[in-house]
Amino acid sequence: MSDAFGSQVANVKGLLLAAVVLLLTGCAATRPVTLSYPPADEQDVVPERVAEQGAPSATSLVLEVFDARTEKSHLAATGDWLNPDAVKYVAKNDVQAWVREAFELELSKASVSVTTPEALDRGAPLRHLTVDIQRLDCNLGWAYDADVWLQVTLERPGEAPVVRQYQGRGSAGLNLAGTTGAVGKSLALALRDAIGQMRAELDMARRL
């Protein structure tokens, strides 16, 4: 065996060994996901808040969004039995901002305008809606199956706070290729479902 051939064999063995080590130690590849709202394929729909721009709102509230998750950028993971998290899907943009934009859009459909926390500092007697993101995950099995769990606290002047939890579900359909677009759409659908549950309950209670 020549020295050159022996060197090539050693290099191949080294690469294989490195690959095995990466696999066994659980090092994962990452795929960035750009989160958008409304869900994909609905971007051409004119948001109601744009159509009603300039019209007075029936009510207004202060909206704050917090992320209670440990892994702030986590969205999904996939792999095999040896390394189930071999590929991790992570948020490319700010998750809290994405959730806030979704709430602003959906609340505008109920003629509710959103303002900033600074309004509370000025002593304005406004409703205060706090949203805590508890879970944001998309399972990549035979189909995309996204979960969004939110804890919502609504405070009104002179009333006890109302605390509710909502679990939204959404799916972009069959998982044929594990695309980032489908993961993002599934999560957007789940987020819309969770917000819809909140609107239905709080609207019936006439709290918004």
The predicted pLDDT at position 41 comes to 74
Cα 45 to its chain centre, rounded Å, is 21
| Encoded amino acid at 138, one letter | C
193 φ/ψ sector (left φ>0, alpha ψ -120 to 50, else beta): alpha
Give domain status of residue 17, yes or no.
Answer: no
Give domain status of residue 16, yes or no.
Answer: no
Q: How far is CA 76 from CA 73, 87, 109, 173, 176, in A?
A: 10, 8, 30, 16, 15
pLDDT, tens only, 182-208? 999 999 999 999 999 999 988 655 666
Give domain status of residue 9, yes or no.
Answer: no
Give domain status of residue 167, yes or no.
Answer: yes
pLDDT, tens only, 46-66? 444 443 443 434 478 899 999
Give domain status of residue 2, yes or no.
Answer: no
Give domain status of residue 21, yes or no.
Answer: no
Q: Which residues pair with 130 in a beta bridge?
A: 64, 153
Residue 148: CATH number of its domain: 3.40.50
Give domain status of residue 83, yes or no.
Answer: yes
pLDDT, tens only, 88-140? 999 999 999 999 999 999 998 888 888 877 766 666 667 899 999 999 999 99
The predicted pLDDT at position 112 comes to 87
Write out the residue range of the structural domain in which residue 75 sits: 27-204
Quickly list H helices, 58-204: 95-108, 118-121, 180-204
- Looking at the structure of the chain, the number of domains it has is 1
Query: What is the C-alpha to C-alpha distance for residues 35 and 56, in angstroms, rounded to an integer?
Result: 30
pLDDT, tens only, 139-187? 999 999 999 999 999 998 888 999 999 999 999 999 999 999 999 999 9
The predicted pLDDT at position 205 comes to 59
Higher per-residue confidence, 2 vs 107: 107
Query: What is the pLDDT confidence band of residue 85, given thresholds at 50, 70 and 90?
Result: low
Q: What is the pTM of this model?
A: 0.78
Give domain status of residue 51, yes or no.
Answer: yes
